[in-house]
Structure 1
Amino acid sequence: MAVAIGPVPAISHDAMLVFLVQIGVLLIVATALGRLAARLNLPAVVGELAAGILVGPSLLGTVAPTVSERLLPRDAEQMHLLGAVAQLGVLLLVGITGAHIDLGLLRRRRVAIAWVSVGSVLLPLALGIGLGFLLPASVMGGNGHRPVFALFIGVAVAVSALPVIAKTLLDMKLMHRNVGQVIIGAAAVSDILGWLLLSIVSATATVGFRAGVVAESVGYLLLVLAATVFLARPLVGRVMRTVQRSANGSDLGIAAVVVLLVLAAAGTHALKMEPMLGAFLCGTLIGSLGAESRRFLELARPFVMGVLAPLFLATAGLQVDLTALQRPAVLGAALITLLVAVGAKLAGGYLGARMGRLAHDEALAIGAGLNARGVVEIVLASVGLNIGVLNSASYTIVVLVAVVTSVMAPPILRRTVGRMAQTSGELEREREYAAQPVAS
């Protein structure tokens, strides 16, 4: 029997006004602080995230609570409007991140990358899980069963941020160096494993950590990976070839890649996994099809990086409450987590590189480069908060790790690589990079 559905009530005048003002204010502050960070040779993500921290409870909510209440009313539906736009931004951002992965590079440098990946992922993951069991219960979210919380902390410690690392290497003109290629390859593996593990955490957060749930999550992951290789790859390839033959290719191409990313995200979300995993895998597929397909993502990139990504980062910053660090237990947990995150990734990357028979300076540079967690860590933190594994205190801790490690990585990398002489092969590759523009 058909059910008559009446007209959907329009959004109220006041709600729309608040929504528009929120977007305007956050974009103004995020853009200004992002440019300021770039002038200070810091990742733009630091300034864009700081925009939300300044407008949120850490500063504006403390200094001018009335203004903060008008701009960020405690109304779930109102904040969901802003969150929906931010969610679209993060899906497209993750898709663009996936397109950075060079599958050919992973194959060519597979031995060194394999050792670096094992060291830089497994050691931090193990130490992070151990840390998760030791952190006080006061930093656990409402749905945070201790094993699930510990696994989430392990994932947060283990990941690297491919977009931040790629941009850092490009800005420092290190993409042509052997060490730069190993860093990018290991960061790609770290990202892939991070999204896969996050899906397991998300699936187990609602029902607890049980062998059956983990087995089901792993089964879904294998299904998604198989579907990506055998079904999605030829389908995406056919769509992109059709778009490339179109007379209005650019406009249609941008629409096509956005639709593919969103539908891929919907597919993994339907399987009760993170939508970001689908967007990431789809972005990797699009990037692997060649320069023509990547071009459509690059055409969408300015709007994503200039509008949607800063809006997402500013929205993520709204959840940070630095006043929580006034509590000794939270401050202690933050310092210990930061120490473990930096030390584990540096040691893991260094040991993996040495096992791969790389030199001491190369190993140090790899450990330093992989320490940057940036956007990926912030996305993980947002997911952890949304599914209830983290609370505001632990969310603040994880975001601080993302910011501090992203700031630390470039100067250490610059210092270590500066001591390494270029090989003839690297000089040849540098000439190739200079002759062909490289997307950042």
Structure 2
Amino acid sequence: MPSFSGLLIITAVAFGAPFVLGLAPRVRLPAVVLEIVAGIVVGPSVLGWVHVDQTIAVISTLGLAFLLFLAGLEIDFSRLRGRVLRLTALGYGLSFAIALVVAAGLKAAGLADAPLLVAITLAATSLGVLIPVLKDAGESTSTLGQVVIAAGSIADFGAIILLSIFFTGEGGTGATLLLIGSLLGLALVVLIAVRGAERSMRIRADLLRLQDTTAQIRVRGAMVLLVGFAAIAQSLGLEAILGAFAAGAILTLLDADEVMTHPQFRRKLEAIGFGFFIPVFFVTTGVRYDLDALLASASTVVMVPIFLAALLAVRGLPALLYRRLLGPRQALIAGLLQSTSLPFIVAATAIGLDLGVVDAATSAALIAAGLLSVVIFPATGLALLRAGAEPRTPPPVAEETPLVAM
């Protein structure tokens, strides 16, 4: 029978982490870091209050799917074109090339047993972490913000595709590529079919009538899309997160008007995801974290700063390509921001552990490096951004007109 006792502690931690940070606004720490650290504390590694049972495992899996779904929803396809697309795509290609060299060096040094998986992991960017940071800084619509979001979108999608091809697909690389092509083809069919259906005035009127009632019809439709594509990807022998990400991308293309006819739609989806499922995933990540494996030897602890430096090199160096578009200072800031990675590291290392290609120590060190990247890189990038901002000139004060005696 499902148990709610462990889930109660996890949801309490998920509530407490951002609440405590809200009481100290000067502490610029992403809530996800505190959620994972608190999960480690209440988990088996420290206090032992919570163990991952079936209830927690299911909700955590949905949280990961929701995180990738919302990441796909954030892709702005209208901006993924022209010079920005060329630069960010070239940047990801360069990132992966650097990652392969770095991973080969780690393998030679005895720090990584699966260099290809490590390379794919290092080349990813946490779009789900960066978007709130950019929004809070008012940069999500700026040129810098759009370049970082475009680069993160390509890195997320590329990492998921590569992970599916080399590690989660069944029947070899050729068969996996065929399956991924089938999934993308199905996505195109669904996109065309739904767009055709929305041209019907009767269907459109029905959606408008039901969208803000207890039916919440648009939200239910989004859930069908999310679960449907995750299930299809899994049934094809691919990773469910690929289906979830594809579902978010499809919804982005379908929801072209965004706020014109349903202004609360995306906010409702974010409320479901960030209000419950996603924080449960992050706290559960902490509960599952093997702190003993990290602290078992000095060599494992030393791997953490090495992996952190590798993240900065793999994703930061290609940002030099953005210099002509952004300028040297903002290119440096973009490099720091796109070096931030955590959710994909968690997912990739979990898959590596299941397949037996990554040991617990490497997984723990990679996740620790990801935590540090979330703490250090966005804060440093935003500090540089604020330091380089031009001071605003106050508006001139109008001179008072002296009263003339009558």
Normalised TM-score (structure 1)? 0.78
3-state secondary structure, aligned to 1:106: coil
Residues 60-112 of structure 1, C-alpha deviations (whole Å, 9 max, x = no match): 14xxxxxx4xx42xxxxx72332112111221221111100000111153233
Alignment of 1:214-293 (within 5 A): 214-229=173-188, 231-237=189-195, 242=203, 245-246=206-207, 247-250=209-212, 251-289=216-254, 290=256, 291=258
Could you report, residue by residue, the CA deviation over 1:125-174 in whole angstroms, capped at 9, with x for unpaired residues? 3234324523647x7xxxxxx5xx22111111100011111111111111
Distance 1:420 1:175 in 2: 17
More helix by share: 1
After superposition, what is the alpha-carbon deviation per residue over 1:344-391, rounded to whole angstroms, capped at 9, x for unaligned?
Answer: 2221223x224x554211210110110111333323333333443333
| Residue of 302, 305, 322 corresponding to 1:353 | 322
Cα deviations across residues 270-324 of structure 1 (Å, max 9, x unaligned)? 1111011011011011012221579534313212212111111111111212222
- Give the drift of 1:20: 0.4
Q: Quick one: distance in 2 between partners of 1:233 and 1:396? A: 40
- Aligned AA (2:231): A
Cα distance 1:397–1:294, how it changes in 2: closer, same or farther (>3 A)? farther
Matches of 2:117 and 2:74, distance apart in 1: 25
Separation (CA, whole Å) in 2 of partners of 1:220 and 1:321 = 34
Equivalent-residue separation in structure 2 for 1:85 and 1:36 (angstroms): 24
Distance 1:118 1:335 in 2: 24
Check the 8 A contact 1:128/1:153 in 2, yes or no. Answer: no
Q: 1:86 to 1:412 in 2, by over 3 A?
A: same
Question: Matched residue of 1:279: which SS?
Answer: helix
Matched residues, number:
374
Structure of higher CA gyration radius = 2
CA contact (8 A) 2:4 2:55 kept: no
CA deviation string 1:31-83 (max 9, x = no partner): 2123334542111111111121111232114xxxxxx4xx42xxxxx723321
Kept after mapping to 2: 8 A contact 1:98/1:287: yes
2:8 alignment partner, one of 10, 21, 24: 24
Confirm whether residue 158 of structure 1 aligns to residue 128 of structure 2: no
Whole-angstrom distance in 2 between the partners of 1:384 and 1:238: 41
Equivalent residue, structure 1, for 2:269: 300
Which of 130, 141, 144 aligns to 1:179? It is 144
Q: Identify unmatched segments of 5+ residues in structure 1.
A: 1-10, 62-67, 73-77, 140-145, 423-440
RMSD, aligned CA? 2.5
1:37-116 residue pairs with structure 2 within 5 A?
37=21, 39=25, 40-61=27-48, 68=49, 71-72=50-51, 79-108=53-82, 109-116=84-91
Is 1:323 paired with 2:292? yes
2:356 aligned with 1:382: no
Percent identity reads: 23
1:123-202 equivalent positions in 2, closer than 5 A = 123-131=97-105, 133-134=107-108, 136=110, 146=113, 149-202=114-167
AA matched with 2:385: V
Q: Is the 8 A contact 2:144 2:326 kept in 1?
A: no
The question of whether the paired residues in 1 share the 8 Å contact of 2:96 and 2:314 is answered with: no
Q: 1:60 to 1:220 in 2, by over 3 A?
A: same
For structure 2, the residue ranges without an aligned partner over 5 or more in a row are 391-406
